[in-house]
Amino acid sequence: MMSDVPGTPYIVELRDAMKVYGRGESEVRALAGANLTIDEGEFVAIMGASGSGKSTCLNLLGCLDTPTSGQYLFQGVDVGSLTLDQLALLRRHYLGFIFQGFNLLARTSALENVELPLIYRRMGANERRRRAMDALRDVGLEMRASHTPAELSGGQQQRVAIARAMVTEPRMLLADEPTGNLDSSKKVEIMKLLVELNRVRNVTIVMVTHEANIAEYGTRIVKFEDGYVATDTKAST
């Protein structure tokens, strides 16, 4: 487990982060020395064209990849210095993930899907079920707890995915195109839920999106170009 580092104002910080894939003529610089800081409790929307580095940035922040050079600090700790086991613990206890495709287990109920991260924590069955039901209640789906994903709408499936991400009470929520598979009304529904979680729970949210109107739900909009942070501005809402 990690602890807060006194005097460290940021929950995450990228320092000249570079990510290179391939070698020689096939080399691709997905990140070319990116610098980014995020305060605890912010809601940051990351935008950029395909290949700009936004998804690579999200992967680094989620400890799903490591920079080729430069640093990624989480609560003041250099993530590059952590062992594989420590990285797994960081993801398990401090981070929550939401994906465009929901990534729910098809043959299990909403409740069982939400319970899954708590199983990895070896939490007892009664406490696990109670917390999972609380998380479903928080997203307005307690009455659908026994339903499988096939019995839920796209918006409801994403709510289950959000409940699963939040059931561990993470410090930071990472959302990769969370409204990409939803129609307009469901997009608004999901974004209002994320805004509420950010404001009420003070959970830090970092969201990748290609839609400008979705990015405006955040408090900051960071745009990547050619592996760099090109602009970093406050959202207008």
The CATH number of whichever domain residue 48 belongs to comes to: 3.40.50.300
Give domain status of residue 42, yes or no: yes
Give domain status of residue 169, yes or no: yes
Give domain status of residue 2, yes or no: no
Tens digits of per-residue pLDDT, 178-211?
Answer: 998 889 999 999 999 999 999 999 999 999 999 9
Cα–Cα distances in angstroms (integers) from residue 14 to residues 107, 155, 207, 229, in the given order: 39, 33, 16, 11
pLDDT value for 73? 95
Q: Which residue has the tokens 């019995």?
A: 151
Span 45-66, average pLDDT: 92
Tens digits of per-residue pLDDT, 17-35?
Answer: 999 988 777 788 889 999 9
Whether the predicted pLDDT of 7 surpasses 80: no
Whole domain around residue 72: which residue ranges?
A: 10-234
pTM (two decimals): 0.91
Write out the two tokens for 206: 């970092």
Write out the two tokens for 63: 């400890």
Exposed, middle or buried by CB within 10 Å (0-12, 13-18, 19+), for 135?
Answer: buried
Give domain status of residue 3, yes or no: no
Q: How far apart are CA 104 and CA 107, in angstroms?
A: 9
Whether the predicted pLDDT of 1 surpasses 60: no
Tens digits of per-residue pLDDT, 99-128?
Answer: 888 889 999 999 999 999 998 888 899 999
DSSP 36-83: EEEETT-EEEEEE-TTSSHHHHHHHHTTSS--SEEEEEETTEEGGGS-
Tens digits of per-residue pLDDT, 124-173?
Answer: 999 999 999 999 999 999 999 999 999 999 999 999 999 999 999 999 99
pLDDT value for 197? 92
Give domain status of residue 5, yes or no: no
Angle CA(218)–CA(221)–CA(227) in degrees, nearest 5?
A: 140
Span 79-88, average pLDDT: 91
**For the chain, how many structural domains are there in total?**
1
Where residue 12 falls (left for φ over 0; alpha for ψ -120 to 50; beta otherwise) is beta
Q: How far apart are CA 5 and CA 74, in angstroms?
A: 10
Span 2-25, average pLDDT: 77
Q: How far apart are CA 186 and CA 184, in angstroms?
A: 6
Give domain status of residue 1, yes or no: no
Query: Do the strands 10-21 and 28-39 form a parallel or antiparallel pair, or are they unpaired?
Result: antiparallel
Give domain status of residue 135, yes or no: yes
Give domain status of residue 4, yes or no: no
